[in-house]
Amino acid sequence: MLKAIMALVMVLVVSGCSTQYPNQALLGKQFPTVTGESLEQQSFTIPEDFNNPNTLLLIGYKQDSQFDIDRWLIGLDMSAVNVTAYELPTIQGMVPRMFSTLIDSGMRKGIPKELWGGVITIYKDGDKVQAFTGNENPNNSRVILLDESGKIIYFYDRGFSVSALNNLKAVIEKQ
């Protein structure tokens, strides 16, 4: 089993961002319609299935972007930011899709069960999301705040920083 997981990790490292897209400026744009499945195995159509005034998406393209996402989550918690947040591991390519069950199973082992509903993996539309946001510096998460219509009202893709967190918090407080 360990050998299978290591082989899978290598596949993800090699193919996680196989097509390069330049980073984009997304403020004011509509988030594209994509589908994914939570670790609880619930299907989602994003952004249509989000019924919140604001929804925060923490998008990761590589396993290493989890470090950045974790810093964002800790910062949000420590500064008591009131927003519904979802982690979106977003993987492009046919090979990862073929191993999606194994990948999701591995994520479930590393994430407490009570958090599974907030992790929505995007395989089929992974290329679409990466083309939309850009995937330069793929270790950095893409931090996207959507309004109730799915329009992007905050975007950041340069890694966690306290000033970026404070800017996000200010946008949320204005809503």
The CA distance from 139 to 59, in Å, is 10
Whole-number pLDDT of residue 148: 95
- The one-letter amino acid code at 163 reads S
Whole-number pLDDT of residue 169: 97
Whole-number pLDDT of residue 39: 83
Structure tokens at 60: 């990761």
Radius of gyration (C-alpha) of the chain in whole angstroms: 15
Task: Give strand ranges (E) for the chain.
Answer: 34-38, 43-46, 54-60, 84-89, 120-121, 142-147, 152-156
pLDDT digits (tens, 9 = 90+) for 51-77: 899 999 999 998 888 899 999 999 999
Indicate the helix (H) or strand (E) that contains 166: helix 162-174
How many of the other CB atoms lie within 10 Å of CB of 161? Answer: 13
The segments of the chain whose pLDDT lies below 70 read 1-18, 92-112
The CA distance from 122 to 59, in Å, is 10
Q: How many residues does the chain have?
A: 175
Whole-number pLDDT of residue 6: 47
Whole-number pLDDT of residue 112: 66
Q: Is the pTM of this model over 0.85?
A: no
pLDDT digits (tens, 9 = 90+) for 130-145: 999 998 998 999 999 9
